[in-house]
Each structure stands twice: as structure tokens, then as C-alpha cells.
Amino acid sequence: MASSEKSACPINLALEVFGDRWSLLIVRDMMFAGKRHFREFLQSEEGISSNILAERLNKLVEYGVLSKADDPSHKQKAVYSLTPTGIDLLPVVTQIGIWGRKYRPVTEESAAPSVALEKGGAALQKKMQAELRKTHLDSH
């Protein structure tokens, strides 16, 4: 991607990639709900519109967080996968979930993944990252 960032600050540069309302929710759905197809992302309870979803998926592919490939089961479908860069977001997503659980009115069900990852610590995160690598990287 052409460099159009306003600052070389690492936080700013990271937010250029995933700092909008939807990008981390797409990554979350891939990590915790196993979503890989456009239609599956549309069914998120947050209610993303199809035009915003298409734009965010394209941006995440452009930044190397996701990859996109033709779905072998259907010629007009694509399957999205996390790249190693995307899988490395798991600790970030985990910490956001822990913060949200601490300071926002979450349900027990919605908090379950962050509870498990917090209790399991780095070892569970490493295990989950290995599983994500197997699912998303070994399938190519």
C-alpha cells in the first residue's frame, strides 16, 4: 500500500490498518466464529452493510492482514484467510476483550472467549495461534 499515513507513530500506523469500527470485528469473527465467506460476515449481530464489508475486506487484504482466494466449492465465492500478520493480532483482540469485559456491560456468553484467553494466558494464546495457522495457512 502506498504510504499516505500522516505520522510514523506505531500506534497511528496500526490504527490505519484496523482502527475503524469494523476491521477488528471481521478479524474477531474469523478467529472466534470461524467465518471465512462474505455472507457469513454479513450475519454478524453488529449489522455491517455489504458495501462497508466489501471495503473493509479489501483494505485488510491490501494491508496483508487477510488473504483472498477463490472458493473451490463455488466459482463465484471467495474464501478469506488470516495471514501470519492477521494471526499476530490475537493478543491485541484478546486485550481489547479483557478491557471490554472489565469496563463495559457484556453478557457472560459474549465474554467467554476473553475469559478463557485471559485465564489461559500466553500458553493458550500460542495454542490458538497455532490452530489459526493450521486452519488459515495450511489450507492454501
pLDDT at 3 exceeding the cut of 60:
no
Percent share of the chain, pLDDT over 70:
95
Q: How much is the pLDDT for 8?
A: 87
- Count of domains forming the chain: 1
- In SS3 terms, 1-61 reads as CCCCCCCCCHHHHHHHHHCCCCHHHHHHHHHHHCCCCHHHHHCCCCCCCHHHHHHHHHHHH
pLDDT in tens, 52-84: 999 999 999 999 999 999 888 887 889 999 999
Return the CATH number at 132.
1.10.10.10
pLDDT at 139 exceeding the cut of 70:
no
Residue 107 covered by a domain: yes
Bridge-partner residues for 82, per DSSP? 66
Place of cell 465465492: 77
- The residue segments making up the domain with residue 34 are 10-136
Q: How much is the pLDDT for 44?
A: 87
Residue 69 covered by a domain: yes
